[in-house]
Amino acid sequence: MEQPTLPPGPPVGKSIIDVLTAPGDIFQSLKGTASSPKLWVVPLITSLLVAVGVTIAIMTDATLHGQILDQQRAQFEKMVDQGKLSRDEAERRIDGMERMGVGIFIAIGSIAAIIFISAAFFLGALVLWLVDKTILKCPLGYDKHLELFGIAGWIGVFGGIVTVLMMIGLGSMGGTPSAALAVLGNYDPANNTHKFLSALNVFSIWQTAVVGIGLGKLSGKSTVTGLAVAFVLWLIWVGISVSLGLVR
């Protein structure tokens, strides 16, 4: 018997509005629509463009750029104290870093951001699919979880824009919409407690909650169950990010 043709997925514009105002509705609708790559391709491309824009904004701001250089100097000094680097080698690296033009910093930062965001996007969707499939017994495939991840990713896009504006306005790399504002005057990116506070970002928590709603809707389980799974995954990610120094 010929399979019925599923209706197309919602327009990208509607997915942006709905994820902010009615996330449950947009994710519920994904269950009965055909696979729609635009729902994850557009937010992915937008995320990459915003990441490049954020990198340019930070590197061209004298205060923020200076703080990044100070962080690198402190890291080299720590390596010298630990015996991992000689004093002469540390001074050569610091000198080379200070001689680098802003354009090189922008290029390196942009490439790193593009690689990291792209990898996190596809791996994040993969983790959601595997967890949803094994724990919540969701019958839907990887494509639908890419759509879920992409739609929820719009919150991260807005968060990135707000974050860089706050950094520039407050003149600090710790000036993010997070609990790190409590230590803004002496924010230390090498301090694990400060990094944990930075990870408690309003937009990250919001995005995690939206992902949880999506997991519940796609699997047919309760919203509470979806939220519980999403926040457990988020806490694991925060722990990994802090321990590996991915949070700044």
Whether residue 11 lies inside any domain: the answer is no
Whether residue 239 lies inside any domain: the answer is yes
- What is the SS3 assignment for 43-71? HHHHHHHHHHHHHHHHHCCHHHHHHHHHH
CA distance 13 to 159: 18
Q: Residue 60: give the domain boundaries.
A: 35-244
Whether residue 28 lies inside any domain: the answer is no
Q: How many structural domains does the chain have?
A: 1
Directed axis angle between helix 38-59 and helix 62-81, to 10°?
80
> Is the pLDDT reported for residue 141 higher than 90?
yes
Whether residue 78 lies inside any domain: the answer is yes
Whether residue 105 lies inside any domain: the answer is yes
Predicted model pTM = 0.89
pLDDT band at 1 (very low <50, low <70, confident <90, very high): very low
Whether residue 152 lies inside any domain: the answer is yes
| pLDDT tens digits for range 99-133 | 777 888 899 999 999 999 999 999 999 999 999 99
Whether residue 6 lies inside any domain: the answer is no
CA distance 27 to 211: 9
Residue 81's pLDDT is 82
Whether residue 7 lies inside any domain: the answer is no
